[in-house]
């Protein structure tokens, strides 16, 4: 199958899957695309993390799906099923959030419809090297156009808790002890506060700073052309500093978050502290490791080709391509979290589509 494929997607997670759906929607056939990954289920890693934190609804808004086009999305799908206009009204106001079950059903349906399994090649890619005519992708051959979507390079656990036997990461399977310390203050942490309280536990919120209250991690203007143009004008050091500011912990405004915590605080079951104290369990809701150095594939790519970097980021062109390795004959693009240099919300499904659409344009014209 890879013998006639001109395009390769390295990474079989949701970013790679969204890129694949975009290429298929743009007219490429399954035999023209090789997907190189370790699990044929594109939602496998995401599914496990969502189950670990008992996530019930998506945080993403109306564009939070894997279809190649923004519209129609899952709100239209829901409206047809329920024969109700309510999902469409919510979508128009950027307030439609499907359930996790609906999203996973959507992934399964799109997987079957696009022919994903026919393009999938199992195996871990440890090296991508620029060669004449394209890129040598591990043992799989040479491809003219390569889309790297390796995903997050691992879970982040603060050094102070690595050797603590009480510690579990929020994205690992776990139950809840009677007294739980939750380290972190973002979306995963807020979700774990509610989970532990619902399980009858007392919760200590361990945080270095107060979380922001906002619907999304990335401000909405950065999803627009005008906002993105301003972002692209930032000097490298300014852009790196701005990206760091987006990592500030946050979770949405709403009584569904505040009411359980306020009630538990009145009952003496919720408190904020700078230490875990005598908690029986320490849940690190501290997200993922960040930076190309934590990813062996990207780290090797940078080292072997001398790529420009800034504060842990690979410097990309506005279209998510690697400038030093992309020209009129070949393309190397990044998608998912490593592509935030080009698109601050690259770790969202909308961001995956941003990179994939530009990659598709190069695949079709070169």
DSSP letter assigned to residue 211: P
Tell whether 87 and 187 lie within a shared domain.
no
Q: Which of 284, 311, 334 is the last residue of a domain?
A: 284
Q: What is the DSSP string of 281-341?
A: EEEE---B--SGGG-HHHHHHHHHHT--EETTEEP--TTSB-GGG--SS-EEEE-SGGGTT
Per the rule left: phi > 0, alpha: psi between -120 and 50, beta: everything else, 202 is beta
pTM above 0.75, yes or no: yes
Q: Could you list the residue range(s) of the whole structural domain that residue 19 is in? A: 2-154+289-365
Both tokens of 16, joined, read 């790679």
Task: Please name the helix (run of DSSP H) or strand (run of DSSP E) that holds residue 107, with its range, or none.
Answer: helix 100-114
Tell whether 146 and 22 lie within a shared domain.
yes
Of 224, 212, 186, 248, the closest CA to residue 343 belongs to: 224
| pLDDT by 10s per residue, the chain, length 366 | 455 689 999 999 999 999 999 999 999 999 999 999 999 999 999 999 999 999 998 876 567 889 998 777 787 777 888 888 787 777 766 677 788 999 999 999 999 999 999 999 999 999 999 999 899 999 999 999 999 999 999 999 999 999 999 999 999 999 999 999 999 999 999 999 999 999 999 999 999 889 999 887 788 888 888 999 999 999 999 999 999 998 889 998 999 999 999 999 999 999 999 999 999 999 999 999 999 999 999 999 999 999 999 999 999 999 999 999 999 999 999 999 999 999 999 999 999 999 999 999 998 765
What domain count does the chain have? Answer: 2
Tell whether 149 and 164 lie within a shared domain.
no
Tell whether 254 and 324 lie within a shared domain.
no
Tell whether 86 and 177 lie within a shared domain.
no
């Amino acid at each position: 199958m890879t013998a006639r494929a001109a395009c390769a997607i390295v990474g079989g997670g949701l970013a790679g899957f969204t890129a694949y759906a975009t290429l298929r929607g743009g007219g490429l056939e399954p035999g023209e695309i090789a997907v190189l990954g370790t699990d044929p289920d594109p939602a496998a890693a995401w599914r496990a993390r969502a189950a670990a934190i008992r996530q019930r609804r998506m945080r993403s808004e109306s564009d939070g799906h894997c279809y190649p086009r923004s519209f129609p999305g899952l709100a239209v799908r829901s409206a047809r099923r329920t024969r109700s206009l309510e999902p469409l009204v919510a979508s128009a106001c950027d307030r439609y959030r499907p359930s996790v079950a609906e999203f996973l059903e959507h992934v399964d349906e799109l997987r079957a419809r696009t022919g994903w399994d026919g393009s999938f090649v199992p195996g871990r890619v440890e090296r991508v090297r620029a060669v004449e005519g394209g890129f040598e992708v591990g043992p799989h051959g040479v491809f003219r156009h390569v889309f790297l979507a390796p995903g997050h390079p691992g879970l982040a656990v603060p050094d102070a808790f690595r050797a603590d036997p009480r510690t579990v990461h929020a994205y690992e399977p776990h139950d809840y002890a009677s007294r739980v310390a939750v380290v972190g203050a973002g979306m995963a942490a807020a979700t774990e506060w509610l989970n532990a309280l619902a399980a009858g536990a007392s919760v200590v919120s361990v945080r270095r700073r107060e979380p922001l209250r906002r619907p999304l991690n990335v401000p909405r203007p950065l999803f627009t052309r005008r906002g993105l143009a301003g972002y692209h004008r930032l000097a490298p050091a300014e852009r790196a500093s701005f990206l760091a500011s987006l990592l500030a912990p946050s979770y949405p405004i709403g009584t569904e978050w505040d009411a359980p915590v306020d009630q538990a605080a009145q009952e003496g079951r919720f408190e904020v502290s700078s230490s875990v104290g005598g908690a029986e369990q320490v849940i690190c809701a501290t997200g993922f490791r960040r930076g190309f150095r934590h990813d062996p594939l990207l780290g090797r790519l940078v080292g072997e080709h001398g790529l420009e970097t800034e504060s842990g980021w690979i410097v990309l062109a506005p279209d998510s391509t690697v400038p030093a390795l992309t020209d009129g004959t070949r393309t190397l693009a990044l998608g998912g979290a490593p592509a935030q240099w080009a698109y601050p919300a690259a770790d969202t499904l909308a961001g995956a589509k941003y990179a994939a659409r530009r990659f598709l344009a190069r695949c079709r014209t070169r």
